[in-house]
Structure 1
Amino acid sequence: MWSQIKSLLTHKIFYLSLVSIIAAGALFLALLDFVIMPAYTNYNEGVTVPDITQVSLDEAQQQLTSYGLRYEVAERRSNSAYPADYVIDQMPAAAEIVKPNRKVYLTVNTESNPTVQVPKVVDLSLRNARVQLENYGLRVGTISYESSRFKNVVLRQSVSPNDIVPKGTTVDLAVSDGLGEKMVDVPNIKGLRLAEAQQKLQKAGLRIGEIRFQPSKEVEANVILSYEPQKEQVKEGETLKLIVSERFEVKEELESGAVIDTANVSSSEDNNN
């Protein structure tokens, strides 16, 4: 067995066959690299994309077809600078080199801005309301908070449901802050420092509105002097006005000259007479 293998490895025909196989493989790789793949991928073939913006859609279609390209209207939006059905943007951009039969995506101007019907988002959570409005092509504007039992629930919307409005219209929302209609005790904050009073009021479910500072000689700065309304109980979420002490600054009057006591002078003159 070993002798037969040794005889085969030393035979000239074996080496000729091995060289033939290697040469055939190299030839196949060369054909694949320089002939087959270039033919498959249109190597060295390219089309320069024409500039089709600011022309009508029909004219853009004719130009692209003449260049061996395809097209698709990807988006329609309103732009008052162009007539209706004019191309206002394209992708790939003009002057780019692409493969033949490549599709060019167009943005086409509409005669008027598309309209949508406003959905009802009252009683939805703020998150769901935002998703709903954005799905309809609307924008969420100002979000204000009001006292109500359930937190982050939409109480009102600035644009009524079912109204037909332009796409992109802004809708303002009034949202619940989770504070209900129950009555709560007003904590005694008189004499407390401002930071401590704020914490107590927030813990009680009350809000702080206006803070008015009042100079005081007897009380150090940033201490609660009074608050309004001064009630034992108020509705949860009600706003309180705070009157807070501030440093009292004494303003000295400037003297314009020496002060002369004329009382003694007049009395001495009378005695001389």
Structure 2
Amino acid sequence: MDLLKRIFTNKYLYIFTGGLIAFAAVAALLLNFVIMPNYTNYNEGVTVPDITKISLLEAEQLLEEYGLRHEVLDRRANAAYPANYIIDQSPSPRQLVKPNRKVYLTVNTEVRPTAVVPDLVDLSLRNARIQIENYGFTMGTTSYESSRFRNTIMRQSLTPGDTVNRGAVINLVVSDGLGDRIVTVPEITGLSLSQAQQNIRQAGLRVGEIRFESSREEPNTVLSVSPEAQELTEGETLTLVVAERFDAREEAETGAVDTDTTIQAPPDTTRIDDNE
């Protein structure tokens, strides 16, 4: 106890501790305000110029004047630009960057580049999107059909293995995960079209073609449905026949029409003599 008391009451201990704290504080200040700013060129920056819509040669010269480097990242065909003109850049114009920063360029090419169409069938929709982007194609429309494996690619618009222009659109047909069970077809005849569509979807079926026929029923009333079945495979499509406004047509007037069908006797033309 006496030893500990002598240690903690020694003034040199507090002088040493205070000096150590002061040294650490000065070192932190120097590191933050002197060493790191000089190392990272703090407070020094270059505003990236807009080099799109100019030739690659002009862009190289302009970037060199600004103290920036460049790299051609991609070449694409774009009819809106002449050959060897800059289509895109990264970082974008007017951004503040450090000196000697590399600017990545996308350059227009006179010859349209091609790519091989990837095989997307049986891939998940997420993976198919990634493959389309990686191969340089454009994601098109996505439609759904009934199949057991949800969000799995069933068909694609471009044939796998074909060589086509990069940027071409690929449309996909995707499984909705339906089709592995039998469902009851709801009774929709006599319902409004909107209510019928809702009941069909809730049953796990699809609304296909909608045909309109003139009828004296209330407009937009379902007159019939096909196929006429009580049960269908989940995801199948129903065709609806729906009432539209009935247009009565008057026949052209061609004179009076006698609708009385009673047979009348001809008038008696025999003259009766009063003297008889």
State the distance in 2 between where 1:136 and 1:222 align.
47
- State the partner residue of 1:145: 144
- State the partner residue of 1:252: 250
State the distance in 2 between where 1:198 and 1:71 align.
60
State the distance in 2 between where 1:139 and 1:204 align.
35
- Residues 82-101 of structure 1: pairs in structure 2 closer than 5 A: 82=82
The letter for the 2-side match of 1:148 is S
Task: Name the CA shift for 1:270/1:178 in 2 (closer, same or farther; >3 Å).
Answer: farther
Shift of 1:157: 1.9
Q: Which runs of 5+ in 1 are unaligned?
A: 1-39
Task: Name the CA shift for 1:201/1:271 in 2 (closer, same or farther; >3 Å).
Answer: farther
Query: Any conservation in 2 of the 1:76–1:110 contact (CA below 8 Å)?
Result: no
- State the partner residue of 2:226: 228
SS in 2 for 1:151: coil
- State the partner residue of 1:124: 123
CA offsets 1:97-119 (integer angstroms, 9 cap, x no match): x9xx7668455444533444444
Length-normalised TM-score, structure 2: 0.58
Q: Does 1:172 align with 2:174?
A: no
SS in 2 for 1:198: helix
Greater Cα offset, 172-181 or 67-76: 67-76
State the distance in 2 between where 1:246 and 1:61 align.
67
SS in 1 for 2:200: helix
Aligned CA-pair RMSD: 4.8
Shift of 1:139: 0.9
Query: Any conservation in 2 of the 1:148–1:176 contact (CA below 8 Å)?
Result: yes
The letter for the 2-side match of 1:225 is L
CA offsets 1:151-196 (integer angstroms, 9 cap, x no match): 2221122234454443312111111122214333323333333333
SS in 2 for 1:201: helix
Query: Any conservation in 1 of the 2:63–2:70 contact (CA below 8 Å)?
Result: no
Shift of 1:63: 8.1
Task: Name the CA shift for 1:103/1:272 in 2 (closer, same or farther; >3 Å).
Answer: farther
The letter for the 1-side match of 2:227 is P
Query: Any conservation in 2 of the 1:150–1:180 contact (CA below 8 Å)?
Result: no
- State the partner residue of 2:200: 201
Length-normalised TM-score, structure 1: 0.59
Task: Name the CA shift for 1:211/1:69 in 2 (closer, same or farther; >3 Å).
Answer: closer
Question: What count of residue pairs does the alignment treat as equivalent?
Answer: 226
- State the partner residue of 2:235: 237
Quote the sequence identity (%): 46
Query: Any conservation in 2 of the 1:73–1:108 contact (CA below 8 Å)?
Result: no
Q: Tell me which protein shows more helix as a share of its residues.
A: 1
The letter for the 1-side match of 2:124 is S
- State the partner residue of 1:22: none
The letter for the 1-side match of 2:197 is Q
Q: Which runs of 5+ in 2 are unaligned?
A: 1-40
Shift of 1:254: 5.1
State the distance in 1 between where 2:195 and 2:91 align.
62
Task: Name the CA shift for 1:182/1:61 in 2 (closer, same or farther; >3 Å).
Answer: closer
Query: Any conservation in 2 of the 1:194–1:244 contact (CA below 8 Å)?
Result: yes
